C-alpha cells in the first residue's frame, strides 16, 4: 500500500531511468539528499530505484523534478479507474483529494459525468493502493480495461444501475401516491380531510401513512443511507448526506407526532410523512433522469466502439476463414467483401473498391482504394472486394487511438473548473450549517408552532441544495461537445484546447498539404544555355529522387511519365529551405530556390520576369544548375483543395483573420492568397522560421491557432496557442497538435472553433444555472421571504427543484448534439 501524507515520516520509492554506473548512483543520491526534509536516501543501480523518507507529498514531487533536472527520467504511467457511488461535486473533490495524497501520484482527475478517474503516477505505484484510497473515502473503484469486453461490461453495469434506480423510483412512487394525494387533497377540496378523519380516525390514518412512508424511507430510500451515513461518520458529508438528514428529519418528526405526541409542545404534533416520501421519490426520479441523460452524453464513444468489427476474414493455410478480431495478427492478409466492415488498419495488396470513411473523417464521399492504399479499421466497404495486409491492430489501430483521444478529452478538466472545485470543497458543510442556523432562528424568533416551522424550513434547506448540478455543469458539456466533434472528424486532445480554441483571433495556415492537396505537378520546364530537355530532366530527377519533399516527387513523377531513364546518384546533400546538390552520371546537379542560386553566385536578374509571371499564376518556380551553369527554370503547382475556399470563408464568417505561412516566393504566395481571399501572407519562410512567423503574428498577445500537416510544422504547432493538425499528415505533426482534424478539409477548422465557442458557452450557462440556483433558492428555503410575503418553501417543492436542477444541466448539455457543421 502506498502511504498517505499526514505529517508522519513515509518511506517512498521512485523508479529512475538512465543510470548506467556507480557515478550515476552517487550523483542522484547527492542531488536528492540536498532537498530539505528528505532523508535516508538510497539509490540502487540494479533495481533502478531510489528509496527515501519524506513527510510531505510535495517533497516527492521535488525529488522527481530534481532527478529529471540532472539528466535522468522518472517514468510515469496512466491508469483509469471506474468509480461507483459518486453523486455530486463534493464526491468528486473527495475522491480527487484521496488519490492525490498518495505517494507517487502525479495527478488525479475525477469526472462525475463519466464516473471515472484518470490518474498519472510514477511506476511502482500499485493499482490496489489507488483502489484502496477510493474505497477508504466511501466509493467503489476498479481498473478500467481497454478491451471491448470491458466496455461491454461497463455498459451493462450502467444499464443495471439505471434499471435498479428505475425500479426503486416506481416502487417509491406507488407507495407515495396515496400519502401525497390523501394529504394534499384537503388543500384543494374542502372537507375531504375532515370526512376522511371521521371515517377512519386520525390515528388510523397516521398509522397508514407511517407504514407506507417507512417502506419508502428504508426500502427505495436505503440507497441514500448506504452512502450518506458513512460519509457523515467520516465527517465528509455529501449530497446523499443532505437527503438522509432532510428526509429522516421529516419522517422521524412524523413518527414522534404519531406515537408520542405528548412529548411535543402543544400544537406542534404535525405529521410530514407526505414530505419524507415525496422527497425520496422526487430525488430518485431525478437520479433516473440523470442516469438516462448521462447515457446519452456518452453516445459518441458508444458509436465509435460499435464501429469495430467483431470478426475478420483472414488467410489461413491458403484459404480465407472467419476468426475473432482479437486473433488477427500484424502481417495477416485480410479479405474484405462488399458491405463488410474493414476489421483492422492495413495496406491494400489486391483488388479495389470504394470505402465509406465518413464515420472516421466526417467526409461523406466514399474514398477509392487500390493496391498501396491505406485502409482504416471500422470503415465500411461499398461495392468492390479487396485484400489487404494488416499493419495496426488492437490498441495501435486508428479507431482505438481515436476512442482513446476522445475519452481523454471527455475526462479532462478545464481551467474554468477550478472555481467549482473551490466551492464544492466547502459547499455541503456550509449548507448543513445554514440548515442548523435556520432551525435555531425559527425556534427562537418564529411564530407558533415554532418547532414545526423550524423543521419545515431546516429540511427545505437541506433538500434544495444541489451540489450535483455544479459537479455535472462542466464535464457533461465537455462529453457532449467532444463527442459531437468526433462525429464531425474533429478530435480534441485535451480540455485546455477545447477552452482555448474559442479565443482564436488569427488562424495561421501552412500552405502545402493544408490549403493544397500536397501533391504538386510539374507545369513548366524552361531550358537555358543550350541544355537538352530529356537529359536535363533526367539529371534533375536523379538529384530529386533522394528527397522526400512533395516537389521532388512531382519532378521524379514527370520524368517517369515521359519514360525518361533516371540515373542513380553518387552523393546527395540537402540544405533545408534552400535546395539540394547531388552527383549523378558524372555531373554536379543543384536544384533550389532563388536564394540558393544566389548563394552559389548565379546572377538571376535576366530571369526575374519569367519567375514573376510564373508566381503570378500561383506556380512555384525553382532553378536548376548543372556543372555550375544555370540549366533550367522548373515550375510546379500544387492544386488547391476544392473545399479550401469554403473553409476560409467560414473562418471569415466567424470574424477571424487568416494568415498563410509558406516557403514559396512572394509572388506565388500573393497569387494564392488573392485567389483564396487570405488576409495576411508570410512568404519565403524557411522551415525553422515558421516558429518566428507564429511569434510575429502573436505580437500584442494576439491569440493564434496554427493549422499544419508536415514534420516541419511540429515546432509551429507547439508555438501556437492552439495547434491543429490535418489527420492525413504525419504522426509527429499529430502528436504535436492540440486538435486533430481527421480529414484534410479546411472547413473542419471552422467547425472546431465554432464547436469550442458553443461548448464553452454551454458550460457558462450550466455554471450560471448551478450557482444561481443554489444562491437564490437556499435563502428562500430558510424562510427569508416569510416576514415579507408569508411565503415558505415546502420540502416537497425543494426536492422537485433539486431534481430539476440536475436534469436541466444535463438537458442543456445535450443541446450540443444538435450542433451543425459548417457548409
Distances (CA, A) of 744 to 12, 72, 363, 378: 49, 39, 9, 19
C-alpha cell at 179: 400519502
Any idea which residue has 491557432 for its cell?
705
Q: How far apart are CA 768 and CA 673, in angstroms?
A: 43
Q: How far apart are CA 808 and CA 602, in angstroms?
A: 72
Within 8 A by CB and 6+ apart from 618, the residues are: 637, 640, 668, 671, 672, 675
Which of 224, 204, 218 lies closest to 171, judged by CA?
218
Q: What angle do CA 120, 121, 124 make, to 5 degrees?
A: 150
Q: How far apart are CA 806 and CA 294, in angstroms?
A: 11
Which of 460, 447, 436, 451 lies closest to 256, judged by CA?
451
Q: Residue 612 belongs to what H/E stretch?
A: helix 608-616
Out of 82, 332, 340, 510, pick the active-site residue: 510
- Which burial class, exposed, middle or buried, applies to 177 when counting CB atoms under 10 A from its CB (0-12, 13-18, 19+)? middle
Q: Residue 497 belongs to what H/E stretch?
A: helix 495-500
Cα 314 to its chain centre, rounded Å, is 35
Distances (CA, A) of 239 to 39, 172, 475, 777, 794: 42, 19, 18, 16, 19
Backbone angles phi, psi at 58, to 5 degrees: -60, -30
Please say whether the beta carbons of 345 and 392 come within 8 A. Answer: yes
Q: How far apart are CA 818 and CA 710, in angstroms?
A: 33
Is 603 catalytic? The answer is no
Q: How far apart are CA 539 and CA 631, in angstroms?
A: 11
Any idea which residue has 473545399 for its cell?
643
Taking only Cα atoms into account, the Rg of the chain, rounded to an integer number of angstroms, comes to: 34
- Phi-psi bin for 790: left (phi > 0), alpha (psi -120 to 50), beta? left
Residue 449, helix vs strand vs coil: coil
Residue 544, helix vs strand vs coil: helix
Helix axes 467-487, 89-100, angle to 10 degrees: 80
Residue 623, helix vs strand vs coil: strand
Q: How far apart are CA 420 and CA 441, in angstroms?
A: 30
What 3 state SS string does 306-354 have?
Answer: HCCCCEEEEEECCEEEEEEHHHCCCCCEEEECCCCECCCEEEEEEEEEE
Please say whether the beta carbons of 727 and 742 come within 8 A. Answer: yes
DSSP structure class, residue 101: T
Please say whether the beta carbons of 642 and 676 come within 8 A. Answer: no
DSSP structure class, residue 687: G
The catalytic residues are 510
Amino acid at each position: 500500500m502506498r502511504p498517505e501524507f499526514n505529517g508522519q515520516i513515509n518511506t517512498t520509492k521512485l523508479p529512475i531511468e538512465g543510470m548506467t554506473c556507480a557515478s550515476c548512483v552517487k550523483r542522484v543520491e547527492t542531488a536528492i539528499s540536498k532537498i530539505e526534509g528528505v532523508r535516508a536516501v538510497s539509490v540502487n543501480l540494479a533495481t533502478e530505484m531510489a528509496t527515501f523518507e519524506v513527510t510531505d507529498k510535495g517533497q516527492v514531487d521535488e525529488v522527481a523534478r530534481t532527478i529529471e533536472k540532472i539528466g535522468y527520467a522518472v517514468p510515469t504511467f496512466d491508469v483509469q479507474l471506474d468509480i461507483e457511488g459518486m453523486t455530486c461535486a463534493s464526491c468528486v473533490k473527495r475522491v480527487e483529494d484521496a488519490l492525490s495524497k498518495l505517494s507517487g501520484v502525479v495527478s488525479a482527475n475525477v469526472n462525475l459525468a463519466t464516473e471515472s478517474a484518470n490518474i498519472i503516477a510514477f511506476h511502482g505505484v500499485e493499482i490496489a493502493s489507488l483502489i484502496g484510497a477510493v474505497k477508504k473515502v466511501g466509493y467503489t473503484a476498479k481498473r478500467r480495461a481497454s478491451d471491448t469486453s470491458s466496455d461491454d461490461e461497463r455498459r451493462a453495469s450502467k444499464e443495471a444501475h439505471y434499471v435498479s434506480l428505475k425500479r426503486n423510483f416506481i416502487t417509491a412512487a406507488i407507495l407515495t401516491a396515496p400519502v401525497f394525494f390523501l394529504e394534499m387533497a384537503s388543500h384543494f377540496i374542502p372537507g375531504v380531510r375532515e370526512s376522511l378523519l371521521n371515517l377512519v380516525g386520525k390515528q388510523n390514518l397516521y398509522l397508514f401513512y407511517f407504514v407506507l412512508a417507512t417502506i419508502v424511507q428504508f426500502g427505495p430510500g436505503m440507497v441514500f443511507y448506504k452512502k450518506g451515513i458513512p460519509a457523515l461518520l467520516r465527517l465528509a458529508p455529501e449530497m446523499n448526506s443532505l437527503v438522509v438528514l432532510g428526509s429522516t428529519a421529516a419522517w422521524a418528526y412524523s413518527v414522534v407526532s404519531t406515537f408520542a405526541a405528548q412529548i411535543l409542545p402543544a400544537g406542534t404534533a404535525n405529521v410530514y410523512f407526505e414530505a419524507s416520501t415525496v422527497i425520496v421519490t422526487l430525488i430518485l426520479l431525478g437520479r433516473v433522469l440523470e442516469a438516462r441523460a448521462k447515457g446519452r452524453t456518452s453516445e459518441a464513444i458508444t458509436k465509435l466502439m460499435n464501429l469495430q468489427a467483431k470478426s475478420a476474414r483472414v488467410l489461413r493455410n491458403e484459404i480465407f476463414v472467419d476468426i475473432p478480431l482479437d486473433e488477427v495478427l500484424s502481417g495477416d492478409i485480410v479479405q474484405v467483401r462488399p458491405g463488410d466492415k474493414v476489421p483492422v488498419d492495413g495496406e491494400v495488396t489486391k483488388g479495389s473498391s470504394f470505402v465509406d470513411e465518413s464515420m472516421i473523417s466526417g467526409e461523406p464521399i466514399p474514398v477509392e482504394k487500390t493496391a498501396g492504399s491505406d485502409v482504416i479499421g471500422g470503415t465500411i466497404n461499398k461495392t468492390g472486394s479487396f485484400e489487404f495486409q494488416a499493419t495496426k491492430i488492437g490498441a495501435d489501430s486508428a479507431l482505438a487511438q481515436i476512442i482513446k483521444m476522445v475519452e481523454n478529452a471527455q475526462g479532462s478538466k478545464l481551467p474554468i473548473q477550478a472555481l467549482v472545485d473551490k466551492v464544492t470543497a466547502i459547499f455541503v458543510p456550509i449548507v448543513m450549517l445554514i440548515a442548523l442556523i435556520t432551525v435555531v432562528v425559527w425556534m427562537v424568533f418564529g411564530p407558533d408552532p415554532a418547532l414545526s416551522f423550524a423543521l419545515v424550513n431546516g429540511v427545505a434547506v437541506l433538500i434544495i441544495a444541489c451540489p450535483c448540478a455544479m459537479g455535472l455543469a462542466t464535464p457533461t458539456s465537455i462529453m457532449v461537445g467532444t463527442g459531437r466533434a468526433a462525429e464531425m472528424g474533429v478530435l480534441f486532445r485535451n480540455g485546455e484546447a477545447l477552452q482555448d480554441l474559442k479565443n482564436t483571433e488569427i488562424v495561421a495556415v501552412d500552405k502545402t498539404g493544408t490549403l493544397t492537396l500536397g501533391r504538386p505537378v510539374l507545369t513548366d520546364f524552361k531550358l537555358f544555355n543550350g541544355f537538352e530537355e530529356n537529359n536535363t530532366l533526367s539529371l534533375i530527377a536523379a538529384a530529386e529522387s533522394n528527397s522526400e519533399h512533395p516537389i521532388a516527387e512531382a519532378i521524379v513523377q514527370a520524368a517517369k511519365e515521359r519514360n525518361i531513364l533516371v540515373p542513380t546518384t553518387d552523393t546527395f546533400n540537402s540544405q533545408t529551405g534552400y535546395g539540394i546538390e547531388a552527383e549523378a552520371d558524372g555531373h554536379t546537379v543543384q536544384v533550389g530556390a532563388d536564394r540558393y542560386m544566389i548563394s552559389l553566385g548565379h546572377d538571376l536578374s535576366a530571369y526575374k520576369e519569367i519567375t514573376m509571371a510564373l508566381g503570378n499564376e500561383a506556380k512555384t518556380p525553382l532553378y536548376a544548375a548543372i556543372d555550375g551553369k544555370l540549366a533550367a527554370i522548373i515550375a510546379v503547382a500544387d492544386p488547391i483543395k476544392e473545399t479550401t475556399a469554403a473553409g476560409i470563408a467560414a473562418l471569415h464568417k466567424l470574424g477571424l483573420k487568416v494568415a498563410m505561412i509558406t516557403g514559396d516566393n512572394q509572388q506565388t504566395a500573393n497569387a494564392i492568397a488573392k485567389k483564396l481571399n487570405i488576409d495576411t501572407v508570410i512568404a519565403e519562410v524557411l522551415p525553422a522560421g515558421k516558429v518566428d512567423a507564429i511569434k510575429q503574428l502573436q505580437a500584442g498577445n494576439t491569440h493564434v491557432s496554427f493549422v499544419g500537416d508536415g514534420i516541419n510544422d511540429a515546432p509551429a504547432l507547439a508555438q501556437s496557442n492552439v495547434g491543429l493538425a490535418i489527420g492525413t499528415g504525419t504522426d509527429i505533426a499529430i502528436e504535436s497538435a492540440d486538435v486533430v482534424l481527421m480529414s484534410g478539409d479546411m472547413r473542419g477548422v471552422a467547425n472546431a472553433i465554432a464547436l469550442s465557442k458553443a461548448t464553452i458557452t454551454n458550460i457558462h450557462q450550466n455554471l450560471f444555472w448551478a450557482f444561481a440556483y443554489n444562491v437564490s433558492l437556499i435563502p428562500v428555503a430558510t424562510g427569508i421571504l416569510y416576514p415579507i410575503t408569508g411565503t415558505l418553501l415546502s420540502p416537497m417543492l425543494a426536492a422537485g427543484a433539486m431534481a430539476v436542477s440536475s436534469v436541466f444541466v444535463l438537458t442543456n448539455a445535450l443541446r450540443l448534439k444538435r450542433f451543425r457543421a459548417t457548409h
